[in-house]
Amino acid sequence: MPTFHRCLSLILLACFLSPPATGATATDTSLPPNILWLSVEDMSPWIGPYGDTTVPTPNLDRLAREGIVYDNAFATSPVCAPARSSLITGMFCTRIGTMQMRNGNPSKAAVAKDPEAYKDIPGYEGLPPAFVRCFPEHLRAAGYYCTNNSKKDYQFKEPVTVWDESSGKAHWKNRSEGQPFFAVFNHTGTHESQAFPKAKRRPQVVAPEAVPLPPFYPDTPNVRDAVARTYNNIAEMDAWVGQRLAELEQANLLEQTVIIFFSDHGVGLPRGKRSCFDTGTRVPLIVRHPNGRNAGSRNARVVSFVDFGPATLSLAGIEPDARLDGTPFLGTFAYERKDYRRGHAYANADRFDSVYDRSRTVSDGRFRYTRNFVTDLPYIIRNAYREQLPMTGELYALETAGPQTPAQWQMAATVRPAEEFYDSAADPWEVNNLIDTPEHQERIATLRQHLEAWIADTGDLGFVLPETKLVRETIWPPDGKQPTTPPAEIDESVTSRNGKTVFRVSLTCSDPGASIGYRLGTNKRFSGPWQVSNGPFEVPGDLRFLQVQTQRIGHKPSTTETLLGGE
């Protein structure tokens, strides 16, 4: 860890281990900010702050009044696990090999439908460059208490250094008194599965006959039911947001906390989730700063999931590594890039469970250019998990019956054009493909160049097929077997201070990509979370048992135990 981070760690530790200064208040701006992520699943900006009043969202409306609404925020993939790998690393999933959905384990629904579905698809983990860490590790090294409640889904097993706690009980309330926190709460009630027939029905806030339908859907009872359930789930989610705000207010921490609300990709209905349109990649993003800063404003900056981790580090006063794909758009180190990524959001669609797609898309916030590298597929690809939604079969039927309206051409198509271009301002549902329109050719050419630059720069691993080749040549060469991170090297010295024994310990690993965590104990029953090793540390002589784990993302961990001072 750079010297800057070690110094910041000491400063932050002093802040929360020392008694508060006389006169310190809950709104003291000299203290490091708490940071709260409120992440919801499978939801487009179908909420009040974005002009959709189908169901009331009073808590999100409040968050918008007191914060900043970002109008152009995008996921890096229209499905959760690849998108979440970008959130936690600040890297495009096509660069680190996490673009194929569920690269570590098969979909149960796909296997139930076809036991041979994964016959030629290996299980593996993504592998970022050696300099990449899951960003909460940097926050923990700087003194933050980091919790995740509770979904991860990163396409790799995260090192033990990432979270103080990740579970259904993880909460910022469990930190040491005065310690700054970074806390993630994930709401699953808006997930696509919550519109399945077997899912619990939330209280009806809007009836099926009253919901607005996207023009690409047929107007059927099953479609209306799925859309209504989606909106009713959003209404319940809004109450969950209110609960999280109330917790901060009750603890007198609201004005010490930056709140970031977003969805992990677009709506969980067909032609949303798993699709490279605004409905699949555009997400709500609301940021509330303490003390009314920029309250009630809107921001048109194009923001991508790769930016979220760097922005969170920047809010905490930690300078993100410039080699990350993401750009901090918040905090001390916020800036705009000068290369092809400035003002553009990129996304990919690859394998979804056992069915392959391969689309790449770029948006400048208004105009979207998409390249379909597999054209002999319908837009609504066959996905066993999604087929639990009754409306899916009705969309499949349009491929035979034909579209009922011009806007349904994508639903009825059995093949796709190689290129697509949409104006989301004039055509918010992106149903009018303008790729051959003369007046847009210059803009199309520019976005095409941007997309090609992104594919080349990231070394897009989605083109390395079959996946067995990807694993053998890129992820785990040369035999496709997962390597084990080298064990830690432990250097210790002993001294006496005030008549008591103190060990000075230094931990290193020969793999520069390894995170190093450690735990201490008076015996081999180690307690508490793993600590982040980012330099030499001192251990009281009564805590002689040391357990160390090293892990590079994508590799197996190594665990070492030792008795400080020997037998």
Query: Which residues of the chain are in CATH 3.40.720.10 domains?
Result: 3-20+34-112+119-343+464-475
Torsion of CA 142, 146, 151, 153, to 10 degrees: 20
Q: Which helix (H) or strand (E) segment is 13 a member of?
A: helix 3-17
Is 80 part of the annotated catalytic residue set? yes
Q: What is the separation, in whole angstroms, between the first and last Cα of the chain?
A: 32
CA distance 240 to 338: 39
Residue 505 backbone phi and psi in degrees, to 5: -120, 140
CA distance 540 to 535: 17
Which residue is catalytic, options 15, 80, 134, 276? 80
Q: How many CB atoms lie within 10 A of CB 194?
A: 21
CATH topology of domain 3-20+34-112+119-343+464-475: Alkaline Phosphatase, subunit A (3.40.720)
Q: How, if at all, do strands 545-552 and 514-521 pair?
A: antiparallel
If you write DSSP's letter for every residue of 111-179 in order, what string do you get?
Answer: HHH-TTTTTT---------TT---THHHHHHTT-EEEEES----SSPPPTTS-SEESTT--GGGSPTT-
Tokens representing residue 555 in the block: 């590799």
The identity of residue 410, as a single letter, is Q
Q: What is the pLDDT of residues 486-543, one digit of tens each?
A: 999 999 999 988 889 999 999 999 999 999 999 999 888 887 899 999 999 999 998 8
CATH of 489-563, one of 1.10.3720, 3.10.450, 3.30.410, 2.60.40: 2.60.40
Please list the pLDDT of the chain residue by residue as tens digits (567 residues).
333 333 444 344 433 333 333 233 444 556 899 999 999 999 999 999 999 999 999 999 999 999 999 999 999 999 999 999 999 999 999 999 999 999 988 999 999 999 999 999 999 999 999 999 999 999 999 999 999 999 999 999 999 999 999 999 999 999 999 999 999 999 999 999 999 999 999 999 999 999 999 999 999 999 999 999 999 999 999 999 999 999 999 999 999 999 999 999 999 999 999 999 999 999 999 999 999 999 999 999 999 999 999 999 999 999 999 999 999 999 999 999 999 999 999 999 999 999 999 999 999 999 999 999 999 999 999 999 999 999 999 999 999 999 999 999 999 999 999 999 999 999 999 999 999 999 999 999 999 999 999 999 999 999 999 999 999 999 999 999 999 999 999 999 999 888 899 999 999 999 999 999 999 998 888 878 999 999 999 999 988 999 999 999 999 999 999 999 886
> Is there a contact between 251 and 69 (Cβ–Cβ < 8 Å)?
no
Query: Which residues of the chain are in CATH 2.60.40 domains?
Result: 489-563
